[in-house]
Structure 1
Amino acid sequence: MLHRSMLAALLLAAFTAHAAPGADLPGAADHPLIKRFAGSWLAGQRVADWDAAAVPAAPEYQKADKYKFKELVELEGKVTQTVYIAPRGKAALEVWRNYQQALNAAGFKPRFVCERDCSDLYFAWTRQLQPTKGFVWAKGDVDTPTGSRYSLTSALAHDDGRMLVGTLGKPGQQATVLLYTSLAANATTGLVATYVQVIEPKAMATGQVTVDPAALQAGLAAEGRVTLTGLFFDTGRTELKPESQAQLDAMAELLKSQPALKAWIVGHTDNVGGFEANEKLSLARAQAVVAALTAAPYKVDARRLTARGLASLAPVAGNGDEAGRAKNRRVELVAQ
């Protein structure tokens, strides 16, 4: 079964070469923070210079659906995903303990660790967050001593699986790490697979998109609303980030050119977390946009703008993966 990852392709740089069994993927390398288990080969790697990613906040699921986490940590920055296959004859626990000890020695701060009965955690992780979707896998197989073969796309398994999530690095420069080890495919291979995901804080390159007030007007004319893709907030926060200025400039110019236009500024979230909290977050973000437009230098008449928050009530995509959730986290301009 092909397990797929949570990451939407935004500013993606990924390795496209293939590796023969036992040989590292050409051009790929260990992440500087975490070296491989001795003798392992690097079977696949994906590197996004800047992207969105999510990891479980705790190994707990919604009561109505054990394959949906109660809470996720949603992050943005440089994202590196790497999969290794350890040499035959090594036990999954031996591989796990070596990674765990090395991380702890480097100052790793665990958010949670699962070492026993982690199958449900594995299924929640692979089904909700889909860790290897779009993954650049090596072209090859995981073989068994008897000659049977399994595709590398099925290397991560629930058999003898263990997971940890936490942070590593100096305050203000802490990377989030997710480590998962398991038998490679199943017990017949005699091999162990390790998945390492490192999400490093990094500012997104700005100034790559310009916002045209005419495009805003076209959206309003066509549908009565337009998504404001140039507004940016940190995860869980309500303060507009500085790179939102181009979008605010365009909105102010549109409102100035149409003095009779009155609008709703409507905040939306994905369905991660409690509804009441998301309702407050979506409203507060809409209010932050109204506050920015009615203050200097724009000074739009406050009577022309009304903030509303709809939480997850009006999705434009499914919330089953990060790509859909990213589309649902938005602010819209709606003509009254």
Structure 2
Amino acid sequence: MLSTILRGIIIFISSLAVFSAQQAYASKEDHPAVSRYEGATLKDTGVIHYKKILVPVNVVPGTEDTELIEVIGKITAHGYLLEGNKSTLEVGLNYKQVIEKLGAELLIDCVDKLCGYQPLDFYWQSWANYNSLVVDDNDDDTRFLVAKRATDKGDIYYQWIITNVYDGIIGIEQTIIEPEALLLDQVSVNRNISVQVEQTVLKAAREDIEGSHDHPVISRYQGAYITDYRQREFEKVFIPTGVAVNQVAPVITVEGKGTTIGYNLSNSQSSLQIYQNYLSALKAAGFDILFTCNLATCGHALLDDLYTSDANKFRFHPVETNNDPDSDFRLISAKLTTANKAIFLLVAIEGALTSNDINKIVVDIVEKSEMNTAKVTIDPQYLNDEITQKGRVVLHGLNFAFNKSQLLPSSTASLAAITEYLTLHPKQQFYVVGHTDNVGSYEINTQLSKARAQTVIEELISLKIDKSRLTPIGIGPVSPKIANSSDANKAENRRVELVLQ
């Protein structure tokens, strides 16, 4: 009785009614528009949203001249095995009847070499084939069908590959590409939030690793969970601005507080959709987009070329750093400049290739700043010892705004110690000498170093020190304490000294 009822069911989806030419054996595992072939067993299935795929629409028999078009939409792949000594011809003719019932246009109907090779060769590398491996491209009877149905929401494409897997067993690979709008607003950016405030963690498919959280500036993609997390108070970060040439990537080098967050996300979202969400959110928040790339346009091993040490390469986990040009890889680098901060950001996406895989995302953020040296303090006795022995002393604890001559509030304790020493030695006169590292031009560094020396003098004058005792000098990068070969060394070279006259 049940079998009789099933044979009479016509499945309506968006005014679409389709069933196999013999019997309709629909299942919730099948596509709602096209049932499985009678007696077929579902071996694998996969669904991905807003995925870009190339669809063959025309072949020239016996040649490799195949016309491919680019389609974006929801892709549903089903792999079936059919027993019962059917032929690929018989099964293929049944699916041709399905195309007629759909009211679709038959674009391709070919067998093996008459397909012109490329449609089948292309399919073996496609997302759908990765997700449902039931067909065999080595069989001479492999049949390939492609059809298109126009709807008011866009064209739907149907693709079947039918082959002899082995004696008496037919493999049926079905791929349906349906038009689908891009799902946006899955990532949010807050350009006004204080970087010290933590953003509320969004609900994720799984728990985040212990001690991790989203960066306050940019949220996770909805449904993602954190698998890797690292944060450093001060580090050097490379932000790519183009494709690497001879394994050297063009970069902007930024020093400051670095945060790297690795996420995993369900494979139901295509890398294209993830990429477009991040890109749209960053643009809407006023970020300047420095560089973007997709798939092969990113070149080979773009992330791998940024750093030479294994420790730094691991920062991009779980995304593979040696991205192959054929991998589903996408990247965005961006910059946000406001009145009081500069933030650089990198988003790397490695899309899932199979239904057993998962999307991987890394967000690398650096908040540009100078190294905080407030942990190093001075006192009048230290100043006296250094000046007595060397005739000069480094004024530790004087902290300036990035690339400016403005002293930060954290300098108060050191200014008080300097004032106390000068008050105890009223007859001494000093050069107040500003130094920089070697980043930037000589002219700019010289001006900056003198401006910082002048700022120190003005602060001391406000604390009742006679200005005639102090002379500002700026010598920029010409007298480093140590080679400018590391971030720590450069921080040590950025200093202000008192030099006894």
Whether the 8 Å CA contact 1:224–1:335 is kept in 2: the answer is yes
Match of 2:453 in 1: 286
1:110 matched to 2:288: yes
Unmatched runs of 5 consecutive residues or more in structure 1? 1-21, 138-151
1:242: how far off?
3.6
1:253 matched to 2:423: no
TM-score (norm 1): 0.64
1:23: how far off?
5.9
Whether the 8 Å CA contact 1:68–1:124 is kept in 2: the answer is no
1:101: how far off?
2.6
Q: 218, 224, 244: which is aligned to 1:34?
A: 218
1:326 matched to 2:496: no
Match of 1:15 in 2: none
| Cα-to-partner distance string for 1:107-141 (whole Å, 9 max, x where unaligned) | 242251232446697467435xx897598x8xxxx
Whether the 8 Å CA contact 2:374–2:398 is kept in 1: the answer is no
Q: Distance in 2 between matches of 1:172 and 1:291?
A: 24
Q: Distance in 2 between matches of 1:67 and 1:335?
A: 47
Match of 1:12 in 2: none
Match of 1:162 in 2: 331
1:317: how far off?
5.3
Distance 1:237 1:175, change over 3 A: closer
1:234: how far off?
0.9
Distance 1:276 1:30, change over 3 A: same
Q: Distance in 2 between matches of 1:220 and 1:237?
A: 28
Q: Distance in 1 between matches of 2:240 and 2:446?
A: 23
Distance 1:264 1:133, change over 3 A: farther
Whether the 8 Å CA contact 2:450–2:473 is kept in 1: the answer is yes
Please provide the CA RMSD for this pair.
Answer: 4.5
Q: Distance in 2 between matches of 1:270 and 1:207?
A: 18
Distance 1:33 1:132, change over 3 A: farther
Q: Distance in 1 between matches of 2:278 and 2:464?
A: 54
Whether the 8 Å CA contact 1:123–1:158 is kept in 2: the answer is yes
Query: Which structure is higher in RCO with an 8 Å CA cutoff and minimum separation 6?
Result: 1
Match of 2:208, as an amino acid? Answer: D
Distance 1:26 1:225, change over 3 A: same
Distance 1:57 1:334, change over 3 A: farther
SS in 1 for 2:410: helix
Distance 1:32 1:241, change over 3 A: closer
Match of 2:263 in 1: 84
Whether the 8 Å CA contact 1:92–1:192 is kept in 2: the answer is yes
Match of 1:31, as an amino acid? Answer: H
Whether the 8 Å CA contact 1:267–1:311 is kept in 2: the answer is no
1:241: how far off?
2.8
Q: 58, 79, 101: which is aligned to 2:280?
A: 101
Match of 2:407 in 1: 240
1:201: how far off?
9.3
Distance 1:175 1:312, change over 3 A: same
Match of 1:272 in 2: 439
Match of 1:18 in 2: none
| Cα-to-partner distance string for 1:167-202 (whole Å, 9 max, x where unaligned) | 29xx65877251231549xx9x96654332445699
Unmatched runs of 5 consecutive residues or more in structure 2? 1-205, 324-328
Q: Distance in 2 between matches of 1:200 and 1:327?
A: 20
Match of 2:126 in 1: none
Match of 1:126 in 2: 307
Q: 466, 469, 475: which is aligned to 1:309?
A: 475
Whether the 8 Å CA contact 2:290–2:335 is kept in 1: the answer is yes
Whether the 8 Å CA contact 1:269–1:311 is kept in 2: the answer is yes
Distance 1:38 1:254, change over 3 A: same
1:45 matched to 2:229: yes
Whether the 8 Å CA contact 2:431–2:472 is kept in 1: the answer is yes
Q: Distance in 2 between matches of 1:68 and 1:269?
A: 25
Match of 2:480, as an amino acid? Answer: A
SS in 2 for 1:332: strand
Q: Distance in 2 between matches of 1:276 and 1:131?
A: 37
Whether the 8 Å CA contact 1:317–1:327 is kept in 2: the answer is no
Distance 1:197 1:280, change over 3 A: same
Q: 215, 223, 229: which is aligned to 2:396?
A: 229
> How many residue pairs were aligned?
284
